[in-house]
Structure 1
Amino acid sequence: MSHLHTGSCLCGAVKFELEGEFKKFFLCHCSRCRKTSGSAHCASLFAPGAALRWLSGEDKIRFYRHEETHFARTFCSLCGSNVPTDAKARGLVAVPAGCLDTDVDIKPQAHIFMDSKGNWDESLVDVPAFDGMPS
């Protein structure tokens, strides 16, 4: 079953379309994901065999690979937002969930690399939640 998804970066310069099905959805707490997201984790979807097409802003896309690791990020050079990485050698497209403009029909399947999570990433479910900025 094939699915069509669209997404964009924060500033809207980079837009893409992905045709394929998400098979994995992980919340990664490794130190590299925390640094690139500035948050507790990255939320990444993986679509084996998917087709990624850039609709606009392909000239704004930059790629970073951390030396001697498998860690890589593709991002907009204007706003810094993470966008999909077409990992052709691995036969899949890795998609940051936050850059999607369409809904997905898969829920996160696991928190990974919990041994390197931030020390403040404990009991977050107990932290008060608000629909907007609290006063």
Structure 2
Amino acid sequence: MMIQGNCLCAAVKYEVTAESQMQGLCYCTDCQIIGGSSHWASYAVAPSDFRLLQGSLTEFAYDPGSGREVVRCFCDQCGTQIKVVSAELGVASVNAMTFSNSEAFSPKLTYFSGSAPAWCTVEAGLAKFEAMA
């Protein structure tokens, strides 16, 4: 399976070369703040399954409070967040909203749904996890 995507200004183009380990919606407050939305649409793959085809990414590394460093990667031109990487967990969470084909994403679970804004309806049919392992 190959999925292609790009940032808003199309300076960054990428492909994902493997089936997702998990597809979900993250409602943590970090994802809400950085994404300007109620959640992050995560298509999780091994970091080696993400391939940058064009452009460059700016990285922002921090500890979200778990004791594990995560690196958020953005287009250095328009600021679109493309992926979040946790080397310790061996996962790259690719922003599914940047896929060229939106039908390639089908969420199966939610994370931190208890942190969803009061005005947001969390999909009842998805498995819910209140923390990351």
Same fold (TM over 0.5): yes
1:22–1:106 Cα contact (<8 Å) kept: no
* Pairs aligned (count): 121
Aligned residue for 1:14? 12
> SS of 2:120's equivalent?
coil
Which of structures 1 and 2 has the bigger CA Rg?
1
Instruction: Mark the runs of 5 or more structure 2 residues left unpaired by the alignment.
Output: 124-133
One-letter amino acid matched to 2:112: F
> What's the counterpart of residue 35 of structure 1?
33
Partner of 1:117: 116
Runs (4+) off by over 6 Å: none
Verify the 8 A CA contact 1:16 1:53 in the aligned structure 2. yes
Once the 2 structures are TM-superposed, how far is the Cα of residue 93 of structure 1 from its aligned partner? 2.5
Unaligned runs of 5+ in 1: 125-135
How far 1:90 moved relative to its partner? 3.0
TM-score of the aligned structures, taking structure 2 as reference length: 0.76
TM-aligned CA distance change 1:32 to 1:4, over 3 Å: same
**Partner Cα separation in structure 2 for residue 28 and residue 64 of structure 1:** 19
* Equivalent-residue separation in structure 2 for 1:6 and 1:42 (angstroms): 18
The change in CA–CA distance for 1:49 and 1:36 in structure 2 (over 3 A counts) is: closer
Q: Structure 1 length normalisation: TM-score?
A: 0.75
Q: CA RMSD in A?
A: 2.6
